[in-house]
Structure 1
Amino acid sequence: MKRHAGLVIAALRKAQMQVHVEPERGVQELASLLLKISDRCAEGRFGALLDDAQLVGLDPVRDYEPLRMAAVAVLTTSGVATAKLFGVPDALMVYAAGLSAILSLLLVYGRNARRGLDILDSLRGIQRP
Structure 2
Amino acid sequence: MMLLKIAERYAEGRTLALLDPEDLANVTPAQSREWVRLLALGLIVTGTVAGALTAGLPDAAATPLIGVVSLLAWSVLYGGRMVGTDLVDVMRGQSRG
The TM-score bracket by the shorter chain reads: 0.5 to 0.7
Question: Which one of 36, 44, 47 corresponds to residue 78 of structure 1?
Answer: 47
The gaps in structure 1 that reach 5 residues or longer are 1-27, 125-129
Look up the match of 1:98. 67
C-alpha distance in 1 between matches for 2:26 and 2:6: 16
Higher helix share: 1
C-alpha distance in 1 between matches for 2:23 and 2:68: 46
TM-score scaled by length of structure 2: 0.65
C-alpha distance in 2 between matches for 1:57 and 1:78: 43
Matched, 1:50 2:19: yes
Sort the Cα spacing of 1:58 and 1:86 in 2 relative to 1 into closer, same or farther, 3 A.
same
Matched, 1:68 2:37: yes
Look up the match of 1:10. none
Write the mapping of 1:2-81 to structure 2, written as runs, cut at 5 A: 29-30=2-3, 32-33=5-6, 36=9, 39-41=13-15, 45=16, 50-81=19-50
The gaps in structure 2 that reach 5 residues or longer are 90-97
CA RMSD between the two structures: 2.8
Identity percentage of aligned residues:
27
C-alpha distance in 1 between matches for 2:35 and 2:18: 23
TM-score scaled by length of structure 1: 0.52
Sort the Cα spacing of 1:90 and 1:49 in 2 relative to 1 into closer, same or farther, 3 A.
farther
* Alignment check: 8 A CA contact 2:5 2:19 kept: no
C-alpha distance in 2 between matches for 1:87 and 1:35: 64
